[in-house]
Structures are given as C-alpha cells and as structure tokens.
Amino acid sequence: MRGIVKSLATTMSTFIRGPVTRGYPSKHRELPERDRAFPLLLWDKDIDEPFCTGCHACERACPVECMTVIMKDNPNHESQDGTSKRRKIVDEFWIDYGRCMRCNICVEVCNFEAIAMNNTWSGHETSVYDRADLVMDLPQLMAQSKSDEIQEWVAD
Amino acid sequence: MNNGIYGIEIAWLDAVIRLHIIVGLMTVVVMGLIYVERKVLARFQQRLGPTRTGPAGLLQSVADGLKLVGKEDLRPRNADPWTFELAPYMVFIPVFLGFVIVPFAFGMQVRILELGLIYFVATSSLGIIGWVMAGWGSDNRYAMIGGMRAAAQGISYELPLVLSLISVAMVSQSFNLNDIVLSQSTYPNLLWQPLVLVIFIIAGLAELNRTPFDIPVGESEVVGGPFVEYSGIRWSFFFLAEYAALFIMGLIFAAVFMGGWAWPLGEELGRGWQILLVTVKTSLFIFLIFWIRASVPRLRIDQLMAFSWKILLPLTFVQVLINGAVLVYDAPLWILTITGLVGIVVLVRLIERAVRPSPAVNSEFVSVGNEGAS
C-alpha cells in the first residue's frame, strides 16, 4: 500500500517537472561552444581572403588522410601591389567528411589558425544521399566562416 | 401518442435524434481521450507524446483512425466466422447503450429511467460476452486465455461495483440518475460514502480493464488478449468501446458521487456551467485513471480474484448493512462518513496484509521503492 502511494507520488512529481525530451528535428538544443563537429576553414575578414596558406601541415598530420590541399602564389600579395602579407595562399582545398574522424589534430597543427572545428548544428546534420557529396570543396568550407554562422570560440 | 411525422411517433424520433447526437459526441470524445491519454501518459514519463501530426499532435487520433480504416480486415482461417466478426459489436453495443441514461446537464439526457443505475450495470456487464466471443472465436490460445480472464475479472468486479452503486442509491433513495444528482445539490454523496467511492474506483478500473487490472489485455502476458487476431476497423471497434466505457464510467462517477451538474452550486445554474461542472468532474476521474495507469504495475490473476472476493465484496456488504441500519433508524448521516473512513482504513490494512511479501524479498522491495522516490 505504501508502495502504491509512493509510486503515485513519484509519477506526479515527474508530471509536474515536465518533459525532458526535446522535439529534436524541429527544436535544436544549444550546443556548447567547444562542440566538435567537422573541420572548417576560416575567412580573414580584414583582407578578404582565407587565413589558410595551403602549407599542407594539416594534410600531413591527418591520420585518416581525408584532406587534399593545393597551394598557389597569392595574387593579392604586397609585391603584386596587393594588401595581403601572405606570399602563398590556398588554391583548392577538399575535406572528405565521410572519412574525417573529428580528431582535432588539423586544428592543433595549423600555424595560421586557419582551420577550426565547426561548433554549430550544421556540422552535425550532414546527411546526404550520395557519398561523393560529403567531399567538401573550398567555397563550402569557407561559407560558414564568411557568413559568421560559427560561434565566437572557433575564430579565436 | 397520435402526433407523429410520417407515421413515426415523436417520442421515438426524439430518442433517435438524441442517440445520434450521442454517437457524434462519443466519437469525438473518444478521439480526444486517446490523444489526451497519450499526452498525459507521456508527461508522466517526462516525454512529449505525439507532436508531429497537426499542431501539437492534435490530429494524431485522426491519423490513427484513417490508418485503421485503411487496413485489411483479416480473419484467421480457423476462426469461427460468426463469433469472430460479431464480437466487436457485442463489446461496443452494451457500452453505447449505457449512454442512454447519463445526465449531461439538467434535462440533457437521452431518457430518464426509473431504474437507471440498474440499467447501466446490466448493460455494461453484457460486454463480457463480447470479450469471451472474441477470445473464443479467434482460435488463438492467447486470445482464449485473455477472454477467459476478461470473463473471470468482469464477473468478479461486477459485484463490488453493483453493490457500491446500490449503497449510494440507498443514501440517495433512488435508482433514477436524475434524482440521485438532484439529491446531492447540497452535499455530494462522496461525503457520506467515502469507502464506497474508493471501491467504486477500484472496481471501475477492473471493469474497464485498465492498469493495474489489465490482465485480460496484458501485452507481456497474453500479447493483447482477445484482440490478438483483430485488425483494422474491427480492432478499432474494441478501442472505441474501451474509451467510450472510460468516458461513461467517468460520467457515472460524476453523477453518482460528485453530484453531477447539481453540486456545488445548486440546480439553478445555467446549462453551460452545468456542462462545465460535469466535464470537470468526469475529467477528474479520467485523469485519476491515467495517473494510476502510469504508476501501478499489473496484478497477478490470483491476487486479482482474491482482492475482489475476499476484500472488496465483504467490505461493500458491510457498508450496505450499515447504510440500511442508519437509514431505517433515521440516524444522522455523518455516522456513515465515519464508518466509511474507518472502512477505508480497514481496506488499506487488508491490502497491506494481502500484499506483504515474504521476509526474504522484503529488503529488495524496500530498496526498489526508495530508488523510485528519490
């Protein structure tokens, strides 16, 4: 009998506390700022070009070899009457999100703080119908940083 | 009765129209109840419940209904065709008949019957035949066991239910539901009959085959009982009957114990207020049943039978005898309140004695209970 009363009290307390379930696909929980989704490239807003110089450091460090980087001479360099101090700059950059294991090593090795882990929901909801669509090219990797979608912590 | 339209007497026409209103009301209420039960139960378990169909999942019952109508109406090869196909109606019709006597507000019922309470009990107990038919006709062992359990449980708990209603009728001095409601315009019957109220709720739970008395349809034991072989529209008939029965039991509870539309503000109240009062009281009963469903585990069949015959039935008999004595000698009614409260204490003590586990498992039970409370 005491057990019955106790169970009734328990269920009533859960009733009052309200649901803990979130209506996930329609409602997104706020992510922590150090949340680690897939790596992204950052955009230097002052000079209007990527931070990345295409130095291959991340490509060499990547344990699953999901990156491909191509470097070129920066057409915007000071020697060419440009505004940038970067002699070299990234030409093409691919990251295969299907292979990436989100280990954060590329962020650690980057000398220019040009790559960061995406800490928004767009980094988690990446489902596609074709595996090839998971290979991101330079404009796709830049888009988040250009439009200020990623949160503060990444850009530091 | 010479006045009629197209040779049909007005009284019949009137009854048919009222019954059609009831059919519409019942369908809407049942769909609402299914939605509300899912939402309330979800909240008890800290979930959200249906959210995807319509705003806040409001159209969930409509979607379920459409799905059920669209399903194939299957019948197992070995099933008894007549018994199998008629069983849903045998379950549903008695429940529906119960609506004839329910007073929704002053002057709002299909018919006022002098023996309304007896009529309600008589019709509601007919449903057991449908359950046994469903179990027998399916030619399935689980369904058979479920049907037999339904029969055993239905017949056992019919007695405490009837006697509790009779005991209330003694205090109200009438079997007419309208008179019972009117007699409670100052004090509701639950003041005089607290023990009977508790017994009515317990027996009502068993009559409705709801937790903790849902052994005929227990999914983990008899995989849904008599419904195993049913699908589509026939299965939805059972469902409709179940929730309609819940609704009607709530209405009877409101009318018999809570004073229906009359208490606490008297019978001069406007019709809208009366309907609101009845709705609130009915919802109270239904919410209580959902609450119990979310909290209490299922009983074993032998515990179930023993509980009915050894505890509930003797207590209701005692209550009926005390009622008789008090009413015959014109003693004040508060004596009934005291005996009723004493009766509740006795009931609790008896349940405690009945469910006391053996010392070996006792400690285990206690620890589980503590976890649940923290």
Q: Taking all residues of chain A, what is their mean pLDDT, rounded to a whole number?
A: 86
Query: Domain ranges in chain A?
Result: 35-155
Contacts of A59 by beta carbon, 8 Å cutoff, 6+ apart:
A65, A67, A68, A69
Nearest-CA distance B42 → chain A (Å): 8
CA dist., res. A66 & res. A95, Å (int): 6
- Calpha distance B222→B236 (Å, rounded): 19
Does residue B373 belong to the interface with chain A, where contact is any CB pair within 8 Å? yes
Ranges B33-42, B100-109, B215-224, B364-373: which has the least confidence: B364-373
pLDDT exceeds cutoff 50 at A14 = yes
- Whole-number pLDDT of residue B334: 82
Residues of A in contact with B294 (CB under 8 A): 11, 15
Closest by Cβ to B296, choosing from A7, A12, A15: A7
pLDDT in tens, B233-283: 888 888 888 899 999 999 989 888 888 787 777 667 777 888 888 888 899
Q: What φ, ψ does residue A90 adopt, rounded to 5°?
A: -70, 135
pLDDT for B287: 92
Residue B372 pLDDT exceeds 50: no
Confidence of residue B360 (pLDDT cuts 50, 70, 90): low
Lowest mean pLDDT among A116-125, B188-197, B257-266, B286-295: B257-266
Which pLDDT score, from 0 to 100, does residue A95 have? 92
Q: Could you say which of B40, B46, B352 has the minimum Cβ distance to residue A21?
A: B46
Task: Report CB contact under 8 Å: B48, A9.
Answer: no
Q: Which among A4, A14, A20 is the nearest to B44, CB-wise?
A: A14
d(CA A62, CA B328): 95
What's the confidence (pLDDT) of residue B190? 82
Q: How many Å lie between the alpha carbon of A3 and the closest alpha carbon of chain B?
A: 6
pLDDT of residue B367: 46
**DSSP state at residue B14:** H
Q: How far is CA B265 from the centre of its chain?
A: 26
Closest residue by Cα to residue A150 from A67, A9, A62, A31: A31
Confidence category of residue B179, pLDDT binned at 50, 70, 90? confident
Point out which residues pair with A77 in neighbouring strands.
Answer: A84
Which DSSP string corresponds to B100-168?
A: GG--SBTTBSS---TTHHHHHHHHHHHHHHHHHHHHHHTT-HHHHHHHHHHHHHHHHHHHHHHHHHHHH
Contact B46 A12 (CB under 8 A): no
> Do B369 and A18 count as a contact with CB atoms less than 8 A apart?
no
| Mean pLDDT calculated for residue range A73-95 | 85
Which listed CATH number (3.20.20.80, 3.40.190.10, 3.30.70.3270, 3.40.50.300) goes with A35-155?
Answer: 3.30.70.3270
CA distance B318 to chain A (A): 22
Question: Nearest Cβ partner of B372 from A1, A6, A19?
Answer: A6
Q: Do B292 and A3 touch (CB under 8 A)?
A: no
Say yes or no for a CB contact (<8 Å) between B352 and A2.
yes
**Do the chains contact at B48 and A19, CB–CB below 8 Å?**
yes
Task: Read off the pTM.
Answer: 0.80
